[in-house]
Structure 1
Amino acid sequence: MVVKETACLTVEDRMAVDEELAADTAALDGAGDRAIITAVRAAAYRRDPRSVARRAAHAVTERTVSLRPAPDAMTYLTALMPVAQGVAAYAVLVREADGARAGGDERSRGQVMADTLVERVTGTRAGITGIDLQVVMTDRALFQGDSEPARIPGYGIIPAETARTLLLDPERTGTEVHDRQDLALWIRRLYTAPGTGELVAMDSRARLFPAGLKRFLQVRDDTCRTPYCDAPIRHHDHILSWANGGTTTAGNGQGLCEACNHTKETPGWSAKPLPLPGLRHTVEMRTPTGHTYHSTAPPLPGTPWSAVDLWAIHTRSPGSLPPPAAVKNGVQVLGRVIQPA
C-alpha cells in the first residue's frame, strides 16, 4: 500500500514518507487498510502536492465502465470515475431507493437502486428496449422446454429456463414491464451444419462488415478469437486483410477485442482461416516468434463440445497442424481448442 500510494514521488520523498510513518507505528496500531492508505496519501501530499495532483489528473483519463460475469446468470457492471461523479451518482440512486421504499415499494433498497440504474441508462423502465441481447438457444429449448443451456454473446452460458423467462416473461427477471409495447422480441433463425453446429456462412461485397454480418460474427465467436483472450468483441476483423485480397465474409471474418486487433496488424503477426468443411470455424495465427496457434469457434447451444476433432483437422489438411503426438497436448481454453505448433 505504501509503495502504491507513493509511486508518483521521487526516491527521496518516498524515503521521507516511510520515515514519517515509521516514526510512530503505534498511531497505526489496529488501523484498517483504508486508514493506512489515507495516512500514506496525506504524507505523500505533504511532501509533493504537485506530483499527487498530476497523478489524480491522469487517473481521470482512465475512467471506464466494464462488465464481467457473476454466478447464477447475474453480472457485475462496474464504473471507474472521478470521486465527485461517483458519489453524486450513488447519492441519486440512494435517494430514489429511499423515496420508493417510503412510498410503499416492496423491493429492497439494493433492488430499487439496481433497477433505477438500468432505467436511467437505457431510458426505459423495462431496461432492454432498443438493446440487442442476442440470446442464442435452440428451438427445442425455447418452444419445447428443453434443458439445453442458452448463451448470451460476450457473457456466456445461462440456464434455458432463465433464457425463456427473459424472452417470454420479462416481468419475472426482476424488472417491471409497465408497457408491453416497450418490449420488442425478435427471433432470428440460425442455420447450422449437421453434427458440428457450424453456422452457415454469409458474405458481402462491402469493405466494412454490414450490421447483419457483424451480428453473425458476434453470435458465432462469442468473445475475442485470439487464443487465451476472452475479452468482449469490439472489432469485426478481416482475418486475411482486405488490402491483401481478403473478402468480407463470415469465413474470413472474426470478432476481436480492440487490443488484439491492433496487435494483429503489427509486423510479424499473420492469420488465415482454415477452410475445413464439416468443422467449426477455425483460424490459424502465427506470432512474431514463429509459434502457430489455432482458435476454433465455440459450439452453439445444442451442439457437443466434441464436435471439433483435431484429428479430423490433421487428416483433412496434412501439414496444417502438428503431428498427432503433439495434438494430444492441446488444451481447451474458454470453449476454444488451442493447439500450439
Structure 2
Amino acid sequence: MFETLAVLDTDADEAALVECIAELEHLKSVAAAGQARLTVALDQKRRAREEAEGVPAANRCRGLASEIALARHDSPNRGSRHLGFAKALVYEMPHTLAALEAGTLSEWRATLIVRESACLTVEDRGKLDAKMCADQSELEGKGDKRIAAAAKAIAYELDPQAVVDRAVRAERERTVTTRPAPDNMVYVTALLPLTQGISVYAALRRQADTTFDGRPRGQVMADTLVERVTGQPADVPTPIAVDLVVTDETLLGDDQTPARVPGYGPIPAAIARRLASNAIADERSKATLRRLYRHPSSGALVAMESRARLFPKALAKFIALRDDTCRTPYCDAPIRHTDHATAHSAGGQTSELNGLGDCEACNYAKEAPGWRVTTRRDDDGTHISEITTPTKARHRSKAPPLPGSPRSPASSIEIAFADVLAWRDAA
C-alpha cells in the first residue's frame, strides 16, 4: 500500500484522483491509530525500565510527553495531549480506536470523543465508547460539531454531576492569550465563562449599534474593546515597551528589508519606520536605540550593546532577542525562562553560548533523566542547540538570523572581529 501511494499519478482521471485522495485520508487515520498504540507501548516500556532502576513512581516517565511531541515534529506542550489521547484509546475506548483504524473517524474527531468523555469514570467512559462507536455506520456523515455534541449528550446522560463539575472547574482556566495574525495584526483571545463571554460580546455589539461615524461594525467593536481595556482612545499609542529589531538602513534610510518584532515575526519596513516614528513623536514614550551586532556572513546575532548595569538582565535580553521564541524544536511558545543548556550545577557557564530562551514547559521537560542539551556556534556564527532525548534521538534548532541580508563575501578581518566580539566584551 505504501509503495503504491508513494507514486502519485496526477495525470489520472478525475475519479481516480478522488479515490486516491480518499485513500490517503484513510491512511492518515490508520497512522494516527498506529501512533496511539506505539505511544502506549513506549510508555509501558519506559515505566518498566525506570521501575527496575528504582525511580520513584511519581518521577517515572518525566519528559516522555515532550519526547513524543518531538518525535511527531510537534510543539512539546502538546505532548501530554498526545499521550493522554493514546492511553484513553488503547486502555479504555477500543471501539473509538477501531473506528480510527478503519478510517471512519479522523484523528481530530476521535480526539473530540476522548475529550468529552474525560470527566467520566473508566466504566462510564467504556459505555460512551460503545454507544458512540460500536456501530461505525452511525458515525458516517457526522461533522466535528455533531460528533462533539453527541459525545457530550451521552456523557451528561451517564453522569450529569461529573459534567457540571467539569464546567465549574473550567472557570478556573479563564485566560487571555495572543497569537500573530496576517498583515501585522494580532489575535487577542479571551477564554471566559459563558455568561461573561456573552455579556462582553453583547456590550461591544450594543456600542456598534449606536455608533454612526462611517466605521464598519467590526471596527467599532474592536476600537471599543481597546478603549475600555486601556482606558484611552484606540488611536492613541499605549505606553508599553515593544522590541523592534531593524537594520540601520531600514530605520534611517529607504531600505525595504523587513524588521522583526520578537515573538511575533517579520513586519514590513514601512510599518517598522512608522512605529519608530510614532514612538519618537509621542512625548509620553521613550524610544531607546540599542545596537545589535550580527555576523557578516550569516547574519547571526553575536553581541549587543548593553545599557544596563546588571549583567544577568542584559544577557537575558540579548538571548531573548537572539532566540525570538522558545528554542525547543517545533515550539513557538513565548520565552518565559532564560536557562543554562548545560546546567550551572554541572559546570555550565552563565554565558550567551550556554544560554537558551525556553518556555516554561520545555524548560522543565529537559530536567527529566536522560535529557541532554548542548550548544555550539556554527562556522558562520549561528547559535546551534541540540536536544538529545532518553532514546538518543537528536533534534536541532538554529537561532534565527537578524533582519537584513548578510554582506557577502565578508573579509577575513570582518569574520575574525565578529568571532572575537563576544557578549562579555560588549556588555
- TM-score, length basis structure 1: 0.70
Give the equivalent residue in structure 2 for 1:154: 263
Amino acid of the structure 2 residue aligned with 1:154: G
Per mean C-alpha deviation after superposition, the further-off stretch among 36-45 and 227-236 is 36-45
For the structure 1 residues 123 and 78, does the alpha-carbon distance in structure 2 shift closer, same or farther, using more than 3 Å as the test? same
**Which one of 175, 178, 181 corresponds to residue 64 of structure 1?**
175
| Distance apart, 1:116 and its partner CA | 2.9
Q: How does 1:1-341 map to 2 (within 5 A)?
A: 3=113, 4-9=115-120, 10-11=124-125, 14=128, 41=152, 44-99=155-210, 101=211, 104-125=212-233, 128-169=237-278, 180-201=282-303, 210-276=312-378, 278-304=380-406
Name the one with the larger helix percent. Answer: 2
Q: Deviations over 1:189-238 (max 9, x none)?
A: 2122322223233699xxx9743322222211111111222222121111
Q: Is the 8 A contact 1:153 1:219 kept in 2?
A: yes
**Gaps spanning 5+ residues in structure 1: where?**
20-24, 171-178, 308-341
Shift of the 15–196 alpha-carbon distance from structure 1 to 2, 3 Å rule, reads closer
Label 1:119 to 1:253 Cα distance change in 2 as closer, same or farther (>3 A): farther
Farther off after superposition, 80-89 or 43-52? 43-52
% identical aligned pairs: 50
**Runs of at least 5 residues in structure 2 that lack an aligned partner in the other structure:** 1-108, 410-427
| Counterpart Cα distance in 2 of 1:98 and 1:46 | 41
Q: What is the letter of the counterpart of residue 277 of structure 2? A: L
Distance 1:192 1:96, change over 3 A: same
Cα displacement string for residues 240-286 of structure 1 (whole angstroms, at most 9, x for unaligned residues): 22222223222221111111111111111112221456411222322
Deviations 1:21-71 (A, max 9, x none): xxxx9xxxx999768866764564344221111221232233333322222
Q: How many angstroms does 1:14 deviate by?
A: 2.9
Secondary structure of 1:201's partner?
A: strand
Letter in 2 for 1:14: L
Q: What is the RMSD of the two structures over their aligned residues, measured on CA atoms?
A: 3.6
TM-score normalized by structure 2? 0.57
Structure 2 counterpart of 1:118, one-letter code: V
Q: Residues 58 and 193 from structure 1, CA distance in 2 versus in 1: closer, same or farther, beyond 3 angstroms?
A: same
Aligned partner letter, 2:292: L
Q: CA deviation at 1:122?
A: 4.1
Structure-2 separation of matches of 1:7 and 1:141:
52
Give the Cα–Cα distance (whole angstroms) in 2 for the partners of residues 244 and 203 of structure 1. Answer: 29
Contact 1:66 1:79 (8 Å CA) reproduced: yes
Distance 2:404 2:131 in 1: 60
Higher normalized contact order (CA 8 Å, seq sep 6+, divided by chain length) = 2
Q: Retained in 2: the 8 A contact 1:195–1:303?
A: no
Tell me: CA distance 1:291–1:195, structure 2 relative to 1, closer, same or farther (3 Å): same
Q: Secondary structure at the match of 2:301?
A: coil
Letter aligned with residue 257 of structure 2 = E
